[in-house]
Structure 1
Amino acid sequence: MDISIQKSKLLNHQSIQITGSKSESNRLLLLKALYPQINIENLSNSDDSVLMQKALQSDDKVVDIHHAGTAMRFLTAYFSIQEGREVILTGSSRMKERPIRILVDALKSLGADISYVENEGFPPLRICGKKLTEHKTFLEANVSSQYISALLLIASSLENGLELSLKGKITSVPYINMTLSLLDELEIKTEFNDNVIKVKPKTSELKPKTLVVESDWSSASYFYSVVALSEVGSKLELASYKENSLQGDSVLAEVYKDFGVETHFKGNSVTLTKSSDVKEQTSIDLDLSNAPDIAQTISVTAFGLGIESNLVGLHTLKIKETDRLVALKAELEKLGAEISITDASLHLKPSKTIISNASIATYNDHRMAMAFAPLGLKTAIHIQNADVVSKSYPQFWEDFKAIGFNLK
């Protein structure tokens, strides 16, 4: 399905209920599989979380998680401790190009029985579940935090717990802290000192507990972009959000001040207000190493506002659903932007005009479709394979239509 967005205008004072965080949901689904006493509310309805839930409930020998990268990392760890069960864990053609060796090596050092079915270092994997008695391992600290979280999520089920040493500068610390905070809520004892994380084994039975998933801040980013690209005085309400969020992407509230957007928390909702026209703002410099998933949204917002942007800390974007840096460069250039990229940065010099009716490729990447959609406030734009949004936000286009976007 392709979607054309005609030049639109935000309908003021609309309210949007956004699905639960994919990141929190997938962590809690794995923990629930280990500790059935957990009850989860406001679970994400994203494809990734549906696939994660289905995989955890499956008795099949072959488990296919399609494009779901988080599920691949988390399930690799989970199936490695399912004693007596053999699983082939596989995914889409793109998933078979995404590296997994770092996690596999760490699990093997703990005693896991994992082998590669096709290409060394990449899915699919043959995993023979067994009891893991070793408790010390290490990872390079600048890798995807999902490798780290995958180990932490199973750590309390290991006979001797886990001591994980991280080498170098740590990437995406908020996502690691999210995992540790969820473990703490389950009264699993953790320590994070310097570059060493320790998780104690869970020896007492978990009491029944209900955990409510906060709505997804990554999904909120597209509405921040909408308000930023709207007229001064425009407002939009989003639910359900916490001021003290576990999610690293909650940094949006601070980042978008530079784009003239103010965030006001009240109860479980936030109101976004376009408070200034940012004519004085000529450039923005950001290190997004702790929140790389919002890089696409920020790049498009800056382009739409005619603001130069220098974004660094983006090295993990190359191993996502697509190489997001290459994809951003290709698609923003269609609109008239001047872009240069490295392996870890993006530098954008916007043009004075935006080319109309550009057809944006999405590369099987949900964030490409959603990040470019707000530009419909500035010009007519065409989004290819628009239904890719179901990976994280199935009702995205319905919500966009509800706030005033003219979609065909």
Structure 2
Amino acid sequence: MNVFLTNPNGSIPTTQLQLSGSKSETNRMLLLQALYPQIKIVNASNSDDSQVMLKALKNFQLTTLNAQLVDVHHAGTAMRFLTAFFAIKEGTEVVLTGSTRMKERPVKILVEALRQLGAEISYLEKEGYPPLRIKGTKLTKQKVNLAANISSQYISALLLIAPKLENGLELVLEGEITSMPYIKMTLALLNEIGVKTLVENNTIKVIQHQLPIIHHPITVESDWSSASYWYSFIALAPIGTQITLASFKKNSLQGDSVLVEIYKNFGVETIFNDKKITLHKVANLEPATLNLELNNCPDIAQTIAVTCFGLGIVCELSGLHTLKIKETDRLLALQTELTKLGAVVSCTDDSIRINKSQMIKENVVISTYNDHRMALSFAPLALKVPIVIENADVVSKSYPGFWEDVKRFGIGVL
């Protein structure tokens, strides 16, 4: 399905939207709930990724004669988290697979770490990549050393199963840590269910724990990465435009909450009030060059890049080495699609630079590469020119109701 986006009236109504729970928080909580069924979750994400995770966990059987096939499709978080989960389910055997693109996304670092702990995991096709055959076993070893600049999902996968390991876990991270906010999120959620953790320099310890101490349901905060697209819409809109989004915390666990500070560069003010945020375009700002290190929040890089292009702002975004192994090579995809719109773009393995553009080409068809964030991040350009988003239903991976929300915002969606 393709969608044609326009801004037919040139005006935007004041809108209030309820965004779904964070996919990152939800998937962590779903795994913890599978380990500790007493956990109750409120405002879980309705994304495809979370539905895949939930289905895999619900359909999993503890005893079976044959290896169970679990297909996570495009869900990278589910692949990493379930690899760790199935590794500790004694007496079971699982074949964990995914889409063609998933079979191109490396998982060797996590597999090797689990093997250090005693896990029985083998590769069924290409060495270092899914599909995996996982024989669940009791893991008694305690200590793992990992490079600190890897995807935080590998680290979080180990931390989430750590309370169930016989001797807990001591995780030593070597070098500079990538995406620390996501690791902190995982640790905070463990603490919330009663698991004790300790962080000393680059060593993280998780204490073995039988039962969580829970006195209330755990409410998942709405997704800041989903909010990023509305920050982009407001940045590209006329002064005075505003939108209210629920439900968000001022002191969020999510790394993408840095949007509040980043979008001040584009004249967007964020007002917190009663678990809601109101985004308000207060000025047209044009910094000479915007340089941002996004090591801790790479998921919002595409949104920021498109915002800068739409406003004619020169930007250089770095710290993006993890984007090359996502649903697509996001740096290459950004360069290709922005160039079609008239941008002058250059990339390295971990950065992208967008030079000032004099015009934005109309009616360009944006390819999405089976990547939800490509569709989501380019949509706000409809405030500047008519634009076509190819394979638009890919947004269901993280934000199923996006196109309906876009209509409520006054954008024509055909």
Q: TM-score, normalised by structure 2?
A: 0.97
Q: Verify the 8 A CA contact 2:193 2:212 in the aligned structure 1.
A: no
Partners of 1:337 and 1:348 within 8 A in 2: yes
| Matching residue of 1:128 | 135
Q: Which moved more, 1:2-11 or 1:300-309?
A: 2-11
Question: Which residue in 2 is equivalent to 1:256?
Answer: 263
1:115-134 Cα distance to aligned partner (Å, 9 max, x none): 00111000000000011000
Q: Give the corresponding residue for 1:144.
A: 151
Distance 2:399 2:210 in 1: 37
Among 184, 188, 200, which residue is 1:177 paired with? 184
Displacement, 1:203? 3.7
User: What is the CA distance between 1:58 and its match in structure 2?
Assistant: 1.3
2:304 corresponds in structure 1 to 298
Identify the residue that residue 274 of structure 2 maps to in structure 1.
267
- State the shift of 1:138 in Å: 1.4
Equivalent residue for 2:2?
A: 2
Q: 1: distance between equivalents of 2:11 and 2:285?
A: 18
**In 1, are the aligned partners of 2:7 and 2:410 still within 8 Å (CA)?**
no
Structure 1 residue corresponding to 2:292, chosen from 279, 286, 296: 286
Give how far 1:10 is off. Answer: 5.2
Decide which of 308, 315, 318 is 2:321's aligned counterpart.
315
What are the Cα deviations for residues 104-159 of structure 1, in whole angstroms up to 9, with x where unaligned? Answer: 00000000000001110000000000110001001111111000000000000000
- For residues 103-252 of structure 1, what are the structure 2 equivalents within 5 Å? 103-204=110-211, 206-207=213-214, 209-252=216-259
Name the SS for the 1:191 alignment partner. strand
Q: Offset at 1:207?
A: 4.3
Percent identical pairs in the alignment equals 60
Distance 1:171 1:383 in 2: 31
Please name the residue that 1:400 is paired with: 406
Q: Work out whether residues 156 and 186 of structure 2, in 8 Å CA contact, stay in contact via their aligned partners in 1.
A: yes
Distance apart, 1:206 and its partner CA: 4.0
Match of 1:27 in 2: 28
1:58 corresponds to: 59
Aligned mate of 1:86, from 73, 85, 93: 93
Q: Distance in 1 between matches of 2:341 and 2:155?
A: 38
Q: Is contact 2:194–2:212 with CA below 8 Å preserved after alignment?
A: no
Equivalents in 1 of 2:144, 2:11: separation in Å?
51
Structure 2 distance, partners of 1:218, 1:205, is 29
1:336 paired to 2:342: yes
User: Residue type of the partner of 1:337?
Assistant: A
Q: Which residue of 1 aligns with 2:367?
A: 361
Counterpart Cα distance in 2 of 1:56 and 1:22: 16
1:204 is displaced (CA, Å) by 4.5
| Contact 1:37 1:209 survives alignment (8 Å) | no
Aligned length: 407
Instruction: Report what 1:374 is aligned to.
Output: 380
Q: Distance between the aligned counterparts of 1:207 and 1:187, measured in 2?
A: 7
Whole-angstrom CA distance in 2 between matches of 1:93 and 1:383: 22
Residue equivalent to 1:70? 77
**Match for 1:33: what amino acid?**
A
Counterpart-to-counterpart distance in 2, 1:218 and 1:169: 24
Quote the residue 1:49 is aligned against: 50
Runs of 5+ in structure 1 lacking a partner? none
Deviation at 1:282, TM superposition (A): 2.5
* Secondary structure of the structure 1 residue equivalent to 2:173: strand
Contact preservation (8 Å) 1:37, 1:206: no
Give the Cα separation in 2 of the matches to 1:204 and 1:226: 45
The alignment's TM-score, normalised by the length of structure 1, stands at 0.98
Distance 1:204 1:354 in 2: 57
